[in-house]
Amino acid sequence: MVRTRRVTDTALHVAVAGARGVDVRDVDATLDEVRQLVGDAAFQLFDAEMVAGWRHLFHAAVNAIYAIQNGSAISKSVDVETILYASCQDQISKAFTLMGLSPQVKNVGVLVISENPSEAKRLATQIAEHLGSPDDAVLDVTSGKFEKLKDVFEVGDEALATVGSDPYEALTSLVVEKGALLPLRR
């Protein structure tokens, strides 16, 4: 189920979806195909293995939108700024290397930003269908992703215990928080 949420104090909506069984032979060609599908809407694709739940991508987009609005963004485009926040990186090349699309990616997180919530949802669904089999479960933190995400995002057991909820939810919350704090490290 594609999740669509409005960004507070803006006219923008963010839709997040997933796709399984993606076969990306040529990243640039794949991105061009997706650009043709979405027209002027902003979008970003992520390696779903590096995503800590749909909230991870949603909050990365929110932070990117606010950074662009207040002039603190590194990038001039919301799609690039979103992957910076999602990856908790302030270098574009590192962000794309960490969680961008590549020929090795088999499951993808899809994010679309639009002023129209039904358009955002429709476009996210179309992208997921175009790339593979729509399956938002690829975004979930699973036992297979948990340790890898902890390591990549440098989240320790103490921090997880401090949050005190389900460890997978705690990990998502801590990754979201780390992304939100990115401007303080710049």
Count of the separate structural domains present in the chain: 1
133-134 and 3-6 as β-strands: parallel, antiparallel, unpaired? unpaired
What are the φ/ψ torsions at residue 2 (nearest 5 degrees)?
-65, 130
Task: Give pLDDT tens digits for 18-76.
Answer: 999 999 999 999 999 999 999 999 999 999 999 999 999 999 999 999 999 999 999 99
Instruction: Tell me the C-alpha distance between 150 and 156, whole Å.
Output: 7
Range of the structural domain that residue 32 is part of: 3-185
* pLDDT score, position 179: 95
What are the φ/ψ torsions at residue 44 (nearest 5 degrees)?
-150, 145
Task: Give pLDDT tens digits for 121-178.
Answer: 999 999 999 999 999 999 999 999 999 999 999 999 999 999 978 999 999 999 999 9
Q: How sure is the predictor about 183, in pLDDT bands with cuts at 50, 70 and 90?
A: confident
* pLDDT score, position 51: 98
Q: Considering only CA atoms, which of 120, 95, 53 is closest in space to residue 182?
A: 95
pLDDT exceeds 90 at position 185: no
* pLDDT score, position 167: 94
Tracing tokens 């949050």 back to the chain, one arrives at: 163
Residue 57 sits in a domain whose CATH number is 3.30.2380.10
Q: What is the token pair recorded at 151?
A: 């390591």
pLDDT exceeds 80 at position 186: no
